[in-house]
A = this chain, B = another copy of it.
Amino acid sequence: MHPHHRSWLILKHAYVRAAEIETLLDLYGTVDDIVGQPRSRLSESGLSAEKCDAIATPDEKAISMALDWLEDDRHHLIAWGQEAYPEMLSQIPGPPLALYVNGNVDALHIPALAVIGSRNPTQGGRRNAHDFSRHLAGQGFAIISGLAQGIDTAAHEGALDAGGKTIAFLGTGIDRVYPAANRQLAHAIAADGALVSEYPLGAPPERWHFPERNRLISGLSLGTLVVEAARRSGSLITARLAAEQGREVFALPGSIHNALARGCHELIRQGAKLVETASDILGELRPLAGHMRETADSSGPLEPTAAEPDDDYAELRKALSHDPASIDELEKKSGLTIDQLSSMLLILELHGEVESLSGGRYALTG
């Protein structure tokens, strides 16, 4: 067992953030020192009572389950500040404290392109996702996606067909596969690439996980290619996150009569690069791949316009308070759908207006 695993797991299960861990390390020394503090000393750090409680009296069953899982040589816990922690992710707003990885950790350190889109694409869209991914994986780029059906699946498969590396970020615990139909694909991905999750083992595919997970897909990638996406779909949120993270955004145009081209066209109007061939992407990514460490913090090509109308945000802000509320409660109060809420809450969280708490609860910050 890695000496610090238990301590990182305790901190992770306490929902300690990467921003908070720096303060704690400054105060107490190592992660082992942090979790070794008495409850009274811990609270002096400014950490919330809820988090102090979770550190002082950890969920031993969950920790032990994770430690068991980590016994496998292919299973890894990558924590903030470690060499294995991807530089690209350390640069994004709201970086994960730690990641569960099943597979090849080195895959997280090669230049990557995210390929995303609709779960119900056209045949043409599916083929494009496959062909672009195959070509770019063949050129040495890792292909990152979300293991969903449709474009995600085609992207992972394209990379595998080229004998290249592909990475799937999960919206569940690392020990679960969602959707179940992609179990075989998940195995193939983990063989030379990686499955990655920031959720606890056993975590179900909660709806609010997916937009949150999307910031990792865009964040680990030099660029995000949207193949086919409807207006107001999750793919556009990922594209917007990519832009806010200073990453490139690429979109494939399509017929004006194809509803799944609408989202791509919207992105192009907002400044995403219109892509016709894999060479168009290579031309943009190759120079970036040379100095991956410098890519963050530059302003993205998309205007930070709201993906949802301002009225919707006004409704959501009215529904929120400093008392944590579940997404189901917010749904009732705001009249917005869970899908809308999930992405809007993530945007507000990245802007620092909202804090996400354990159990999918949200509260105004400050």
Contacts and interface: CB of A to CB of B under 8 A. Distances in A.
B256 A277 contact: yes
B254 A255 contact: yes
Interface in A248-264: 252-257, 261-262
A124 B273 CA distance: 25
Contacts of A261: 253
A272 B288 CA distance: 27
Contacts of A265: 253, 274, 276
Interface residues of A, number: 18
Nearest to A264: B253
A269 interface: yes
A133 to B, nearest CB: 15
A274 B262 CA distance: 11
A254 B264 CA distance: 11
A203 interface: no
Number of copies: 2
Contact of A254 (B254, B268, B269): B254
A276 B253 contact: no
A221 interface: no
Contacts of A275: 256
Nearest to A268: B274
Contacts of A276: 256, 262, 265
A254 B261 CA distance: 9
A270 to B, nearest CB: 10
Given A253-B253, A256-B277, 6 more contacts: A253-B256, A253-B265, A254-B254, A256-B275, A268-B274, A269-B273
26 contacts: A124-B255, A124-B257, A128-B256, A252-B256, A253-B253, A253-B254, A253-B255, A253-B256, A253-B261, A253-B265, A253-B268, A253-B274, A254-B254, A254-B255, A254-B256, A255-B255, A256-B275, A256-B276, A256-B277, A262-B276, A265-B274, A265-B276, A268-B268, A268-B274, A269-B273, A269-B274
